[in-house]
């Protein structure tokens, strides 16, 4: 299989707190991969490790055969242009209209003439169904439209990898369905590779080609949605069925029993 990202024997800690221990995982090129797992387990941290914003203590993270953490600053900067990260907040610049929001990264990172920028921006807005909303200001958009505009901005420079961090949070079911289809369509039509961090397990499994469950410093499972749904591993079943109680602790681990705090 052709992988865009390969993580080998990777460990990472924030100070005393171990987030990952000897993790191995692969992100297949051209596919949608989901990262699921309990709150605070380190899913966002994994995206930041892949993006080179933080460095593993041990092991390697390869992007298209390049060791992300062995690059010097300018090469890392170049590599980062091949990746895009879309955060839940996906904040648009409030004083710029939709068009200028999408044009912003192109103007920042290239010296292209405005006619070409115009074509690129309109193509991206068309791709997210917002071509008619070019002149609207962010405060005139619905929550779902704002996410789509942020998505158009995050693909403005034609990245190869797009990482979505909780893209559905706070959206109604219809908007969520629209965003799901959009992630799938963009992945296909733009030849992207996508990683989606989400708690919306059943929804993401309708479009993901592959999914990992991250919990307790490890990758506890990985497979196609069909494989995960058939798994007899109780930790996998807990996740797939969205059960609060089970072998994977839901809460942030605490050193002190809360009764002792009283």
Ligand X SMILES: Nc1ncnc2c1ncn2[C@@H]1O[C@H](COP(=O)(O)OP(=O)(O)OP(=O)(O)O)[C@@H](O)[C@H]1O
Interface with ligand X (CB under 6 A), residue total 10
Span near ligand X by CB under 6 A; candidates 4-12, 32-40, 153-161, 217-225: 32-40
Specify the residue, 132 or 249, whose C-beta has the smaller distance to ligand X: 249
Among 43, 124, 147, 148, the residue binding ligand X under the rule CB under 6 A is 43
Contact flag: residue 39 with ligand X (CB under 6 A): yes
Span near ligand X by CB under 6 A; candidates 41-49, 71-79, 109-117, 150-158: 41-49
Residues whose CB falls within 8 Å of the CB of residue 253, separated by 6 or more in sequence, listed in order = none
Span near ligand X by CB under 6 A; candidates 39-47, 55-63, 74-82, 95-103: 39-47
Cβ proximity of 69 and 56 under 8 Å: yes
> Measured between alpha carbons, how far is residue 6 from residues 24, 57, 95, 107, 243 in Å?
8, 16, 39, 32, 30
Specify the residue, 3 or 45, whose C-beta has the smaller distance to ligand X: 45
Can you tell me the distance from the alpha carbon of 45 to that of 23, in angstroms, rounded to the nearest whole number? Answer: 13
Running DSSP on this structure, what letter comes out for residue 138?
G
Specify the residue, 24 or 169, whose C-beta has the smaller distance to ligand X: 169
Q: Do β-strands 161-165 and 193-197 pair in parallel, antiparallel, or remain unpaired?
A: parallel
Can you tell me the distance from the alpha carbon of 19 to that of 12, in angstroms, rounded to the nearest whole number? Answer: 6
Closest of 158, 166, 148 to residue 203, by C-alpha: 166
b/e per residue 15-27 (b: at least 16 CB within 10 A): eeeebbbebebbb
- Least distance (Å) from ligand X to the CB of residue 60? 20
Specify the residue, 44 or 60, whose C-beta has the smaller distance to ligand X: 44
Among 5, 42, 97, 220, the residue binding ligand X under the rule CB under 6 A is 42
Contact flag: residue 250 with ligand X (CB under 6 A): no
Return residues touching ligand X (CB under 6 A). Answer: 14, 19, 37, 39-45
């Amino acid at each position: 299989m052709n992988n865009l990202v390969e993580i080998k024997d990777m460990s990472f800690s924030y100070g005393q707190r171990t987030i990952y221990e000897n993790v191995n995982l692969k992100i297949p090129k051209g596919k949608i991969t989901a990262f699921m797992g309990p709150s605070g387990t380190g899913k966002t941290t994994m995206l930041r490790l892949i993006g080179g914003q933080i460095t593993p203590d041990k092991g390697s993270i390869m992007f298209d055969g390049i060791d992300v953490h062995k690059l010097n600053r300018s090469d890392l900067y170049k590599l980062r242009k091949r990746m895009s990260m879309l955060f839940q907040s996906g904040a648009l610049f409030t004083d710029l209209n939709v068009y200028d929001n999408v044009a912003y990264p192109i103007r920042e990172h290239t010296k292209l003439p405005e006619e070409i920028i115009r074509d690129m921006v309109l193509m991206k807005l068309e791709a997210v169904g917002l071509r008619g909303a070019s002149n609207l200001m962010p405060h005139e958009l619905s929550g779902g439209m704002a996410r789509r505009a942020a998505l158009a901005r995050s693909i403005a420079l034609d990245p190869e990898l797009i990482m979505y961090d909780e893209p559905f949070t706070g959206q109604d079911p219809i908007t969520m369905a629209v965003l799901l289809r959009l992630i799938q369509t963009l992945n296909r039509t733009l030849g992207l590779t996508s990683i989606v961090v989400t708690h919306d397990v059943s929804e993401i499994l309708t479009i993901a080609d592959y999914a990992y469950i991250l919990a307790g410093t490890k990758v506890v499972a990985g497979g196609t949605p069909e494989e995960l749904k058939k798994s007899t591993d109780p930790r996998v079943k807990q996740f797939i069925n969205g059960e609060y109680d089970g072998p994977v602790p839901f809460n942030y681990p605490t050193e002190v029993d809360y009764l002792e705090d009283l």
